[in-house]
């Protein structure tokens, strides 16, 4: 009698918790390197092209990022989950899914260009040029994403991380060289396209060393695939539209400079979410294959980690917001990003915990209700943006995000509890974590912020002092999750 797919997977994933930790560290480290490289790109673009040029670049990449989801329709995420369930079917899954993604991507290119012209009818210069150039990257991003789902499913995210760093390095190098050669925004757009073309092929041939597959056109399989993936894809589209709505509406209702101020703050907040996304991505295969009595332990540990990360990230950002913005974009035109960042960072508290319930619901195949939650969040965000952006500009968009993230957390938790189960039992610990975060944020704002002049020194002191103070309070108040407490006891005894 053959073993079940879940049993086979658990045997295949030797020392799974170590692999989760290794994959998480690899993704975080690669994101840190990519962020440092990104700082170089932002510095060069804002200094040479100014806030308006940086705003145009942000609008184009935001527009194409939305478009890429319509060429995915949940296929990439579905691929990863199905390979995690039964890796013996990896070649067939990758072949069929990549074939479908490539066909959808080629169809999407002219549609994206046409929609861009309709959305920005008075912008026939850099915006339309950028949309035309960057839209050509959609098939290569599809190739990269589908093939790398194999590494995600097998918890080999260090390989995904290496390719991610390579992508950023190519892009940043191209930006710096093209700007100094006088190619301006066109050079930046071409650098983005070139990075995705090269790493798309790199990812494909890297995975083919392990799994022999080629894109295949299998119409009958595609119909079944879309029936299973469209629910996931709809959720992803709504989520990305929600995340990108602020930039899209700001680009229509304000100007490129305001968009640039928001993009700088949003890029910092996006980096703060690297650790929770990396951890939950690495943990996903374990939740997929976990037996029911193991789910509670995984969820409680993940919830504790996410609360710790969120509270620490917000406390640190509030303390050094001025120094973070001035380090990325010292031009006076970006001064408005400081207040936007201080507001927007509060959303991380909610986003981190929301990721636990959304990833776990998807892993256990109870994600369909998320579409209604995400759709409600998108609609609420649009209504709040329409009300707040005219009065407060980029700050209004940030306020809308914080409100909607809190509502999304409530909705995701209630759906998780009803569909998956009452697995969260660490409420007291989560309350203590948020209490510590609040105390540290107040101390940072009232003591560290005014004690030192703005600049690199205060940034360095804040980045060291805030985690130390947080840990000093978290340990005696028993805020650390069980794995970290075990490590701490071992260090004290050793």
Q: By the 8 A CB rule, do 483 and 305 touch?
A: no
* pLDDT tens column, 392-402: 998 999 999 99
Residues 6+ apart with CB under 8 A from 7: none
Q: How confident is the model at residue 375 (pLDDT cuts 50, 70, 90)?
A: confident
Q: By the 8 A CB rule, do 230 and 366 touch?
A: no
pLDDT at 387 over 90: yes
- What radius of gyration, in Å, describes the C-alpha atoms of the chain? 22
Q: How confident is the model at residue 133 (pLDDT cuts 50, 70, 90)?
A: very high
Structure tokens at 354: 């929301």
pLDDT at 170: 92
CA atoms of 486 and 490, how far apart (whole Å): 6
Highest mean pLDDT range out of 45-49, 198-202, 416-420? 198-202
Residue 286 parent element (H or E): helix 274-289
For 86-98, what is the mean pLDDT?
84
DSSP secondary-structure letter at 205? Answer: H
Q: How confident is the model at residue 11 (pLDDT cuts 50, 70, 90)?
A: very low
Q: How confident is the model at residue 241 (pLDDT cuts 50, 70, 90)?
A: low
Q: How confident is the model at residue 1 (pLDDT cuts 50, 70, 90)?
A: very low
- Residue 418: count of CB within 10 angstroms of its CB: 11
Task: Output the CA–CA distances (angstroms, integers) from residue 181 to 48, 86, 126, 175, in the order listed.
Answer: 11, 50, 18, 10
For 304-327, what is the mean pLDDT?
86
- DSSP string covering 313-334: HHHHHHHHHHHHHHHH--SGGG
CA atoms of 332 and 69, how far apart (whole Å): 35
Structure tokens at 132: 């035309």
* pLDDT tens column, 141-180: 989 888 888 887 777 777 888 888 889 899 999 999 999 9
For 54-61, what is the mean pLDDT?
85
pLDDT at 331: 61
Q: By the 8 A CB rule, do 155 and 285 touch?
A: yes
Q: How confident is the model at residue 193 (pLDDT cuts 50, 70, 90)?
A: very high
pLDDT at 238: 67
Q: How confident is the model at residue 235 (pLDDT cuts 50, 70, 90)?
A: low
Q: How confident is the model at residue 201 (pLDDT cuts 50, 70, 90)?
A: very high
Residue whose tokens read 């907040």: 269
Of 58-62, 120-124, 271-275, 463-467, least confident by mean pLDDT is 120-124
For 339-355, what is the mean pLDDT?
89
Residues 6+ apart with CB under 8 A from 323: 454, 455, 456, 458, 459, 462
Per-domain boundaries in the chain: 13-217, 254-494
pLDDT at 491 over 80: no
Better-predicted residue by pLDDT, 372 or 434: 434
* pLDDT tens column, 79-89: 777 787 777 88
pLDDT at 75: 77
For 402-407, what is the mean pLDDT?
92
pLDDT at 194: 94
Could you give the percent of the chain with pLDDT greater than 90? 19
């Amino acid at each position: 009698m053959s073993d079940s797919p879940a049993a086979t997977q658990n045997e295949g994933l030797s020392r799974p918790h170590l692999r989760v930790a290794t994959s998480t560290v690899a993704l975080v480290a690669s994101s840190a390197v990519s962020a440092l490289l990104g700082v170089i790109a932002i510095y060069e673009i804002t200094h040479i092209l100014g806030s308006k040029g940086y705003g145009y670049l942000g609008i184009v990449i935001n527009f194409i990022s939305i478009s890429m989801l319509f060429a995915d329709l949940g296929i990439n995420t579905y691929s990863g989950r199905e390979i995690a369930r039964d890796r013996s079917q990896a070649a067939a899954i990758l072949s069929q899914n990549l074939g479908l993604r490539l066909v959808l991507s080629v169809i999407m290119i002219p549609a994206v260009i046409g929609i861009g012209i309709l959305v920005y009818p008075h912008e026939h210069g850099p915006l339309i040029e950028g949309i035309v150039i960057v839209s050509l990257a959609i098939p290569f991003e599809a190739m990269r994403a589908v093939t790398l789902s194999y590494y995600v499913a097998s918890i080999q995210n260090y390989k995904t991380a290496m390719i991610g760093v390579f992508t950023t390095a190519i892009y940043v190098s191209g930006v710096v060289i093209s700007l100094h050669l006088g190619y301006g925004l066109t050079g930046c757009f071409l650098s983005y396209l070139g990075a995705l073309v090269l790493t798309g092929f790199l990812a494909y041939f890297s995975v083919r060393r392990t799994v022999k597959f080629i894109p295949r056109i299998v119409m009958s399989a595609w119909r079944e695939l879309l029936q299973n993936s469209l629910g996931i894809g709809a959720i992803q589209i709504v989520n990305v539209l929600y995340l990108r709505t602020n930039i899209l509406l700001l680009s229509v209702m304000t100007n490129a400079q305001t968009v640039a101020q928001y993009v700088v703050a949003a890029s910092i907040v996006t980096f703060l979410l690297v650790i929770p996304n990396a951890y939950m991505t690495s943990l996903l295969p374990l939740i997929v294959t976990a037996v029911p009595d193991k789910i509670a332990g995984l969820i409680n540990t993940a919830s504790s980690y996410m609360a710790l990360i969120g509270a620490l990230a917000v406390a640190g950002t509030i303390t050094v917001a001025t120094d973070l913005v001035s380090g990325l974009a010292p031009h006076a035109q970006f001064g408005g990003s400081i207040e936007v960042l201080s507001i927007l960072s509060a959303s991380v508290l909610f986003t981190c915990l929301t990721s636990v319930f959304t990833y776990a619901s998807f892993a256990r195949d109870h994600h369909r209700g998320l579409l209604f939650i995400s759709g409600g969040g998108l609609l609420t965000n649009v209504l709040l943006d329409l009300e707040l952006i005219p009065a407060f500009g980029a700050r209004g968009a940030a306020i809308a995000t914080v409100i909607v993230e809190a509502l999304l957390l409530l909705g995701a938790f209630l759906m998780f509890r009803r569909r998956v189960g009452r697995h969260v039992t660490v409420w007291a610990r989560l309350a203590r974590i948020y209490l510590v975060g609040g105390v540290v944020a107040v101390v940072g704002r009232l003591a560290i912020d005014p004690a030192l002049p703005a600049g690199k020194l205060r940034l360095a002191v804040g980045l060291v002092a805030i985690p130390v103070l947080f840990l000093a309070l978290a340990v005696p108040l028993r805020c650390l999750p069980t794995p970290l407490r075990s490590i701490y006891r071992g260090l004290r005894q050793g």
